Structure 1
Amino acid sequence: MLGGYTFKKVDWTPRISAEFSYPSTFGGVFGARDKMYGRMNLMDWKNLQDAQINLQLKPTEKLSFKAELHKFRLAETKDAWYLNQKMYRDKTGGSGRNLGMEFDIVGRYVTALKRLEVQYGYGHFSPGGFVKKMADNVDANWCFMQIHYKFSKPLL
């Protein structure tokens, strides 16, 4: 579920939105999991509740930013946290639901070529009670930069 509002008559065209996802099982094509539930790829769409708030800014036609804050929880306490090919499960359910929070910020710059864009981002994950008890209690940081070139024109 997603809802939001764009302030079209304000500088930088801010958009504020909120999302809630409750996936029980989903397998992305070729293992793809990026963008939908945190950029750090710490969550699979299995036994997950993801409450998310977003802020998007567009200072210019070529430059945009998106900040996301995720609150991750287990849907069922006796099921697992699915992390890549690994899963962490407390069969008693005593470790709770709180997986943690992730903050991501992503910038995008479209070059003069228009088909070429540069993306860059940073993510920070703070583990919740379940992750601290079952896996690790250390915060995680991640950053990236990528170049994206569109080889074809849109069909529509």
Structure 2
Amino acid sequence: MRIAMIAMALLSITGCQPAADSAKGFSLPDGDASAGKAAFMQYGCVNCHVVEGIEPRPDDSYSLLRPVKLGGSDAGVRTYGQLVTSVINPSHKLAPRYPVSMVTDSQGSKMPNINDSLTVTDLINLVAFLQPKYDVEPYPKSKYVTYELRVPEKNTTQSN
């Protein structure tokens, strides 16, 4: 009986840990939202998407029948990780409010894969531009700190 209780306690403790593939703990450094807005334009996101802060274009100038609206609470993005994923893996989750034929082709999402041209800096800035437009769950940002050296440094200067 005692062994069963110990086993149950160990299972319950390990069951609370995030899985190895969990996004828990992931965050990008702070970005520049105005540079992210420029990246949004540069990578052609405006050809298919409308977002607060960028003047909408005439409907007939979009690549899709109807532009995909980004931001808010009903856009299918609930977490910071989902927002980042939607940029780097657009086929992961498709826009739920749009007909499948409008947002997909034989390869998945009609959104082009820009991973080979998108720099990490552009990704950071793009997320900094888009994230405030969504009602996402708060997430802890990474703290970049200098760690104290645990062992004393050796004196490298020699006195004569």
Classify the TM-score, shorter chain: under 0.3
Q: Which structure has greater strand proportion?
A: 1
Larger relative contact order (C-alpha < 8 A, sep ≥ 6)? 2
* TM norm structure 1: 0.23
Q: If you compute each CA radius of gyration, which structure gives the higher value, 1 or 2?
A: 2
